[in-house]
Structure 1
Amino acid sequence: MKVRVYKPAKNAMQSGRAATKHWVMEFEPGARKVADQLMGWIGSTDTRDQVRMEFDTLEEAQAFAAKHKLIADIEQPKSRVRRVQAYADNFAFKRVS
Structure 2
Amino acid sequence: MEVRIFKPAKTAMQSGRAKSNSWVMEFEPRDAVRPDPLMGWSGSADTSKQVRLSFDSREDAVAYAEKHGHSYTIHEERSRKIKPKAYADNFAYHRIAPWTH
| Distance in 1, Cα, partners of 2:41 & 2:97 | 57
How many residue pairs get matched? 96
Q: Give 5+ residue unaligned stretches, structure 2.
A: none
Q: % of aligned pairs identical?
A: 53
| Distance in 2, Cα, partners of 1:39 & 1:73 | 35
1:31 aligns with 2:23: no
Q: Give 5+ residue unaligned stretches, structure 1.
A: none
Normalization by structure 2: what TM-score?
0.88
Equivalent residue number for residue 52 of structure 1: 52
Equivalent residue number for residue 94 of structure 1: 96
| Distance in 2, Cα, partners of 1:50 & 1:40 | 20
RMSD: 1.4
Q: Between Structure 1 and Structure 2, which shows a larger proportion of helix residues?
A: 1
Structure 2 vs 1, CA of residues 5 and 95 (structure 1 numbering), >3 Å: closer, same or farther? closer
Equivalent residue number for residue 6 of structure 1: 6
Q: How is 1:65-84 mapped onto 2 (pairs within 5 angstroms)?
A: 65-84=65-84
